[in-house]
Amino acid sequence: MDEAVMGMCRRLTLFTRKEEIEEQLGVEIPDFKASYNIAPSQQVLTIAANKAETKAGFLQWGLIPSWAENQNIGFELIHARAETIDTKPTFQRLLSRRRCLIVVDGYYEWNGEGTPYRVILNEEEVLTLAGLWDTWIGASGEEIASCTMIMTNTNQLLKGLNERMPVILDEGNREAWLDWTISDGELLKRMLTPYESGKMRVYQVSERVNNPCNDSKELVDRV
């Protein structure tokens, strides 16, 4: 069985048209190739902000902290727990100043039998997932900007699939999440709650999604 079946939210999709994303989020989005099976270590579309601007770009999925000896740690830091994000040293320093949104239009989950499902919003709008980012510079000068996805307890809709789910931020919370003037850890943690079940839906997809080499539109079809 593929490793993704054993993990939580280890595959993403993003094939919504660039213009639609820009209209929904109000941010200019760089050109990108549609992907129906984004895996850890691959690039994900993100939005981050600083004092000067809010900007979209691509980060490697799997956090490599600036202090890491090598980039292999990224495979261990795909996710971060919402409950301890303000106390674990790896994430604590990023919470105040290096927050981002990971932009997707769906993600995959697997049930206990290994059957894959796709999770989307009812209106099929893009999802903005809470994340943290950092930049690592290797001994040879190689620079990698990477991110991790914040996970919280699951909602009622997804309980049969997993005990955890990504933090999905609605319009109000995503603006606050990107507000560089906010650094209060407790205030930020209050945003990291399960998304409403009634605004989401889930459906079964092909087991071909188990293989990260597969990346075609048929992966998101209902079976």
As given in the structure block, the two tokens for residue 158 are: 């997804």
Three-class SS state of 179: coil
Catalytic residue, candidates 28, 109, 143, 163: 109
CA–CA distance, 185 with 211 (Å, rounded to integer) = 38
Task: Note whether residue 220 is domain-resident.
Answer: no
Residue 138 CB neighbours (<10 A) = 13
Give strand pairing partners of 50: none
For residue 1, what pLDDT is reported?
30
Residue 119 has pLDDT above 90, yes or no: yes
For the stretch 14-47, pLDDT in tens is 999 999 999 999 999 999 999 999 999 999 999 9
Catalytic residue, candidates 9, 125, 142, 207: 9
User: Mean pLDDT throughout 191-200?
Assistant: 97
CA–CA distance, 191 with 205 (Å, rounded to integer) = 30
Residue 80 has pLDDT above 50, yes or no: yes
pTM: 0.95
Residue 68 has pLDDT above 70, yes or no: yes
For residue 124, what pLDDT is reported?
86
Residue 7 CB neighbours (<10 A) = 16
User: Mean pLDDT throughout 180-206?
Assistant: 95
Percentage above 70 pLDDT, the chain: 96
Residue 6 has pLDDT above 70, yes or no: no
For residue 4, what pLDDT is reported?
35
CA–CA distance, 39 with 96 (Å, rounded to integer) = 27
State yes or no: is 69 an active-site residue: no
Cβ–Cβ < 8 Å for 17, 223:
no
Q: How confident is the model at residue 51 (pLDDT cuts 50, 70, 90)?
A: confident
Comparing 59 with 4, the larger pLDDT belongs to 59
76 to each of 10, 47, 106, 179, 185, how far by Cα in Å?
12, 22, 22, 28, 23
As given in the structure block, the two tokens for residue 24 are: 């929904």
Residue 29 CB neighbours (<10 A) = 20
CA–CA distance, 14 with 36 (Å, rounded to integer) = 6
Residue 2 has pLDDT above 50, yes or no: no
Q: Which domain range does residue 18 map to?
A: 3-214
- What's the chain's Rg over C-alpha atoms? 17
State yes or no: is 147 an active-site residue: no
For the stretch 150-171, pLDDT in tens is 999 999 999 989 999 999 999 8
Length of the chain in terms of residues written: 223
User: Mean pLDDT throughout 79-103?
Assistant: 95
- How many separate domains does the chain show? 1
CA–CA distance, 131 with 168 (Å, rounded to integer) = 10
The domain that holds 129 is classified in CATH as 3.90.1680.10
* Mean per-residue pLDDT of the chain: 93
